[in-house]
């Protein structure tokens, strides 16, 4: 852990991890102003993507919080798979 280089740690339940990939979680968190907003954004995205499991996120800020900003959202294979007609 290097506080000058590391921005945050995100702990999530499987209800989030199945619907949102790690890069998407980082992108959502990087767009937020504080850890509470970030945790809320991550859980809300999982709900919007259709999770049916519990969705809990804890965001722990480190020294480089806010240093890296990214507005690009990447594609999530797991979300696409879950929303297809083949998943029951």
Q: What is the pLDDT of residues 72-84, one digit of tens each?
A: 434 444 444 454 4
Determine, yes or no, domain membership for 55. yes
If phi over 0 gives left and psi between -120 and 50 gives alpha, with beta otherwise, what is residue 66? left
Q: Note down the domain range covering 19.
A: 8-83
What is the DSSP secondary structure assignment for residue 61, as one 8-state letter?
A: E
Query: Whats the size of the chain, residue-wise?
Result: 88
Distance, in Å, from the CA atom of 3 to the CA atom of 9, rounded to the nearest integer, reads 11
Closest CA to 59 of 11, 19, 24, 20: 11
Q: What is the pLDDT of residues 9-66, one digit of tens each?
A: 899 988 898 888 889 888 888 888 889 999 999 999 898 888 888 888 998 888 756 6
Count of structural domains within the chain: 1
Determine, yes or no, domain membership for 3. no
């Amino acid at each position: 852990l290097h506080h000058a280089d590391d921005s945050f740690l995100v702990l999530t339940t499987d209800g989030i991890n199945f619907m949102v990939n790690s890069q998407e979680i980082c992108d959502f968190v990087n767009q937020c102003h504080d850890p509470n907003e970030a945790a809320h954004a991550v859980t809300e995205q999982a709900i919007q993507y259709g999770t049916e499991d519990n969705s809990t996120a804890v965001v722990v800020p480190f020294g480089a919080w806010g240093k890296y900003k990214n507005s690009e959202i990447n594609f999530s294979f797991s979300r696409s798979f879950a929303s297809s007609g083949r998943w029951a």
